[in-house]
Amino acid sequence: MYRCATQAVADRAPGQRIDAVERRAKHIFLHLAGGFSLHVHLRMSGNLFVISDWRLHTSRARVVFELHDGSGLVYEDARALGKVDLVPTKKFFEQLDSTLGPEPLEDTFTTELFVEMARRSRQPAKLFLMDQRRVAGLGNIYAAEALYAARIDPRKRIGRLRLPRLKALHAAIVRVLRDAVESAWNAYSVPAVWTEGETFECQVYGREGQPCRACGKPIRRIPQGGRSTYFCPNCQR
């Protein structure tokens, strides 16, 4: 191991075998023998990938693990917003699961459950989608894109939306995330090699002032919950 985020990682990770890799919401886990896991959170600027020679990492690498064959597992984070630490697997998962909602691409994320959660909430639609207790793993980009796909104003209270609109939003979340996963799979399918960019084309995110592709009106950006929200004030009502 070249660098470490905590002393616990430096002390206990060397010599361990990675038995499995798992994701829960925005958390990545590399399960080690002995009941411990490396816990990785990429935040906004992190990347976790394998390179053929662990010594060939870039200056942006925050953590580098030398694997048994000389290859490397690299965690890059140009803005130093993420983290890598060592956690007791069972205890950490129990604590994490108690704070997270359903995964939007799993069977448990039903239309009925989503509608029930929305009905009980007074949050604006965008903040509801960003609340990990409601929908696990849905980030800023895809929340904005799902709301645009469902033609819902991100400022509207989600509990006041009618049933057809909530059903449309549920379907949009699933559709947007499936498109995003397919795009990421194509872009990152080869270890340490990816294409110039993912094929997922944002309709509103990052397009402030640009024309809406549906109506031609300019996309707006507003602050919500400390983050930027992009939407079309003409299409999203």
The reported pLDDT for the residue numbered 192 is 56
**Residue 63: partners with Cβ closer than 8 Å, 6 or more residues away:** 1, 2, 3, 4, 5, 9, 74, 75, 84
Same domain, 115 and 205: yes
Kindly report the pTM of this predicted structure. 0.85
Q: Does residue 194 lie within any of the structural domains?
A: yes
Higher model confidence: residue 143 or residue 45?
A: 143
Same domain, 81 and 40: yes
Kindly write down the DSSP assignment for every residue of 29-50, as one continuous string: EEEETTSEEEEEE-TTTEEEEE
CATH number at residue 55: 3.20.190.10
- Quickly state the pLDDT bin for 11 (edges 50, 70, 90): confident
pLDDT digits (tens, 9 = 90+) for 183-235: 878 777 766 555 555 678 999 999 999 999 999 999 999 999 999 999 999 99
pLDDT digits (tens, 9 = 90+) for 62-106: 888 899 999 999 998 888 888 898 999 999 988 998 899 999 999
Domain that holds residue 133: 111-231
Same domain, 131 and 25: no
Q: What mean pLDDT is reported for the chain? A: 90
- Quickly state the pLDDT bin for 50 (edges 50, 70, 90): confident
